[in-house]
Each structure stands twice: as C-alpha cells, then as structure tokens.
Amino acid sequence: MSPKYVDHDQYRRELLHQCFELVAQQGYAAITMRQLAGHLGVSMGTLYHYFKDKQALFEQLMEEVARQNAFTDLSETVREPVESLAQMLNQVGQNESLHLKQLFIVADFYRLQRDESTHHSNTLEVAGEGYKQGITRVTGLSDPVMAMLIRSLMNGLVMEQMFADNTVTFEEKADLFVEMLNAYLKQEEAGGAGEAGEA
C-alpha cells in the first residue's frame, strides 16, 4: 500500500487559517507556540516542522492575510470603475468583522517590526502592494494614488467599527465614497476632453 500523499503547502495554509482567530484575539506577544499547538490540535513537533518559530508563523500568517486582501476572488473589471469599486466595498462590508481582525493582525505585525531587536521584514510592504494591485486589477484604475486612497478608505471604514457608532451604516458611507469617486472621474474625463479640444 502506497503512503498517503500530503500536500504540505496546503496543510501549512490550513494551520494558518485555523490559528487566525486566536492570534487576532490574543495578539502575537501574548500567545505561545504551545497554546497554538493546543488550539490546532497538533503536536509541538508538527508545528515546528511547518514553522521554525513563532515569528516565522506570524510572518506567514501576515502573508496569508495579504493574499486574502488582494481581492483575488473578484473578477477583473468588465464594468465601469465605479461599479467595480461598489462591488469591492460591498464585499468588505459583508465581511466587516473578518477585515477588522485582519487589521488587528496587521497592526500587531507593525508593532513587531518596530521592535529594534527584531529583524526587518518586507512583508508589510509586499502586503500593501498586493492590496493596491488587487484594487487596480478589479477597478481598472491605473493611478497608484487613487488605489492607495481607496485602500485607505476601506481600512478606515472597517476601523470605524471599533467606535460602535451606528448612526451611519457602512453601506451609507461606502455609497457616498462611490458617488464622490464617480464625480471625480467625470470631472477628470471632462478636463481631458477639454484639453484634447484645445489641442
């Protein structure tokens, strides 16, 4: 009987997904590898086989969060940029709690990187670039400044959840931003047409 094939990369990602909630709730500093192994239901040996230490696990978890934030499940734009942005915001709004937990992990990782005793990693830069490229791919907006603005707004809308202010819903704020972007793009288009006419 041939030995059972194990997709180690897939299993590693499954371990990361399973420890996501615990790390988001307790934070990097408070949690131990032993606690993670217990939460995952695996031995310490298994955990160290896939992750050489806690920092390596955290970095790979951060990379997985970045991959999820790249909007890979949304098709490339076949619509107007405004319609595509509305679709992205709708996805974020439907998974608001998940995105907030992801931001907790990002903030925790940022604190880790600021520790002078910790080696520098470009994980955050790669994550931010992947997020921005995902926005560009889905909306078709090539302006990097616009992509960064959209990323900042999405993160800000999610962070607003912490203030528990329900007077204005996520959807209302998202709709307002979509309207603002639509007005901006129309103004840019009109300006471009005017310059072409003058030429």
CATH of the domain at 98: 1.10.357.10
| 1 in any annotated domain | no
Which residues span the domain enclosing 108? Answer: 8-194
| Structural contact between residues 160 and 93, judged by C-beta atoms closer than 8 angstroms | no
Confidence of residue 75 (pLDDT cuts 50, 70, 90): low
Report, as an integer, the average pLDDT of 170-185.
93
| 2 in any annotated domain | no
| Structure-model confidence comparison of residues 72 and 126, the more confident one | 126
Cα–Cα nearest to 91, from 69, 109, 108: 69
| 68 in any annotated domain | yes
| 36 in any annotated domain | yes
- Does the structure show a pLDDT above 50 at 151? yes
Q: Mean pLDDT score of the chain, rounded to an integer? A: 84
Report, as an integer, the average pLDDT of 138-162.
90
Domains: count for the chain: 1
Report, as an integer, the average pLDDT of 122-142.
85
pTM, full prediction: 0.78
What's the pLDDT score for residue 77? 47
| 199 in any annotated domain | no
- Does the structure show a pLDDT above 60 at 78? no
Q: Find the range with the poorest average confidence among 59-68, 155-164, 181-190.
A: 59-68
